Amino acid sequence: MPQVSRPVALATGAVVLALLLLLVGAMLGGYRPFAAQPDVLTYGADGDLEEFVLFDGQCARGELASGGTFGSSADAQCGEPHDVEVIAARTPIDSSRPVAYPGEGAMRDYGRAYCALFVDSELLVPTSSGVDREDLRVTAVVPSEAAFADPRSTAGSAAGARQVSCVISRGDGEPLTDRFSVI
Burial of 56 (0-12, 13-18, 19+ CB in 10 A): middle
**pLDDT for position 157:** 61
Burial of 138 (0-12, 13-18, 19+ CB in 10 A): buried
Indicate if 125 and 57 belong to the same structural domain.
Answer: yes
Helix (H) or strand (E) holding 11: helix 6-28
Q: How many domains are there within the chain?
A: 2
Indicate if 20 and 40 belong to the same structural domain.
Answer: no
Indicate if 88 and 12 belong to the same structural domain.
Answer: no
Indicate if 43 and 25 belong to the same structural domain.
Answer: no
Residue 153: HSE in the Cβ half-sphere, 13 Å Cα cutoff:
21
Indicate if 151 and 88 belong to the same structural domain.
Answer: yes
Give the residue numbers spanning the domain of 25.
1-31
Indicate if 39 and 13 belong to the same structural domain.
Answer: no
Indicate if 63 and 139 belong to the same structural domain.
Answer: yes
Length of the chain counted residue by residue: 183
**pLDDT for position 150:** 83
Nearest to 82 by CA among 182, 180, 181, 178: 178
Indicate if 8 and 38 belong to the same structural domain.
Answer: no
Helix (H) or strand (E) holding 169: strand 164-170
Indicate if 55 and 123 belong to the same structural domain.
Answer: yes
Indicate if 111 and 93 belong to the same structural domain.
Answer: yes
Indicate if 21 and 100 belong to the same structural domain.
Answer: no
Query: For residue 163, is it within any domain?
Result: yes
Indicate if 27 and 57 belong to the same structural domain.
Answer: no
**pLDDT for position 98:** 83
- Which stretch of 29-33, 91-95, 96-100, 168-172 has the lowest confidence by average pLDDT? 29-33
Q: What is the mean pLDDT of residues 105-118?
A: 94
Residues 6 or more apart whose CB falls under 8 angstroms from that of 45 comprise 144, 146, 147, 153, 155
Query: For residue 179, is it within any domain?
Result: no
